[in-house]
Amino acid sequence: MDYFIGIDIGGTFVKMAVVNEHGTISNFEKFHTRTWVESSDGFISKFKSQLKEYLHDHPNINKVGIGVPGLVDLKRRTILEVPAIPQINGLNLHSSLKDQFPAVSFVIENDAGAAAIGEVVFRKSRVPDDFIFLTIGTGIGGAAIMDRQLFMGAGGNSMEFGHCISRDQKHLEDLTAKRGILAYASSVIEKFPDSSLQNKEIKIPLLVEAAQSGDEFASHVFEYTGFLLGEGLVAPIRIMDIKHIIIGGGISVAYEFILTGVKQALDKYLTPYYLNELEIEKAELGNNAGLIGAVGPFLFPGITVVHS
């Protein structure tokens, strides 16, 4: 059995775990990203320190996969733009890690790309050869798999549709990721006087729980979010002619409510050519898809060769 260390660097948490060749995780830990960013040592020092502990505790593991919440160069060596951790922008992360851990092999991928890879390599049921992967969490991430390979684009950073323009000249991410959902919820709750969340501090877990209990306000918030996401999906579906959508990320716990809105938007803006074959599903690997998928290129080396 082969074992790897999978790392998912997120805007809220950094997750680390041991991942075996079947995608089963163990020794899972997570750390607050902001705490590392604001530490006197800086993010990368904290990151290396924690990785050193993992490698010490698992001396037989010499392969590490890392998912990054932002843009990475085509060679998957240098961090280009990570809004949540600006202090690592421009860092050749691969070289920095190899200098300290020369016996270890590293692969680095965009976090949404890693999650999509995870679905291809590790999920139990048959995955389609072509699909669009959408992650909903602290931000909005996207990836596309074409002929079972990650579509990377000319520079390696395709499918960043969370930063495409949506309503009111705002980025889609600003409206449909964690902050946007909570901002919208706060702006409309007064229209739902019977909501169980009246006079409470609204947080995503409470919204999910309320929606599952039949709260009209909470359901509306997620359905509205889904509608905006559906609007955002129209362009990539039409441009790439891909009719299979997989939705993951931390806020996919509200999938059943978000899905309602997504379908409403796609029914409104797509023609029968797309709708007759359209399939939408929840990511099978759940919120740990990025962590698990980060090690996928070790097992499926050809998955990241598609450029443009």
How many whole angstroms separate alpha carbon 295 and alpha carbon 288?
Answer: 12
Residue 308 has pLDDT above 70, yes or no: no
pLDDT at residue number 126: 84
Low-confidence winner among 22-26, 124-128, 155-159 (lowest mean pLDDT): 124-128
Average pLDDT over the chain reads 94
Q: What is the largest CA-CA distance in the chain?
A: 61
Residue 86 CB: number of other CB atoms within 10 A? 12
Four-CA torsion 277, 143, 308, 123, nearest 10 degrees: -70
Residue 116 has pLDDT above 90, yes or no: yes
Residue 306 has pLDDT above 70, yes or no: no
Residues above pLDDT 90, as percent of the chain: 90
pLDDT digits (tens, 9 = 90+) for 249-279: 999 999 999 999 999 999 999 999 999 999 9
Q: Are residues 295 and 109 in contact, defined by beta-carbon separation less than 8 angstroms?
A: no
Average pLDDT, integer, range 195-210: 96
pLDDT at residue number 40: 87
pLDDT at residue number 304: 65
pLDDT at residue number 135: 95
Residue 106 has pLDDT above 80, yes or no: yes
pLDDT at residue number 267: 98
Average pLDDT, integer, range 271-289: 95
How many whole angstroms separate alpha carbon 145 and alpha carbon 303?
Answer: 9
Low-confidence winner among 96-105, 166-175, 295-304 (lowest mean pLDDT): 295-304
How many whole angstroms separate alpha carbon 188 and alpha carbon 186?
Answer: 6
Residue 122 has pLDDT above 80, yes or no: yes
Residue 125 has pLDDT above 80, yes or no: yes
Residue 82 has pLDDT above 70, yes or no: yes
pTM: predicted TM-score of the whole model, two decimal places = 0.92
pLDDT at residue number 118: 94
Q: Which domains does the chain have, with CATH numbers?
A: 3-117+289-304 (3.30.420.40), 127-283 (3.30.420.40)
Residue 301 — left, alpha, or beta (φ > 0 → left; ψ -120 to 50 → alpha)? alpha
Residue 224 has pLDDT above 50, yes or no: yes
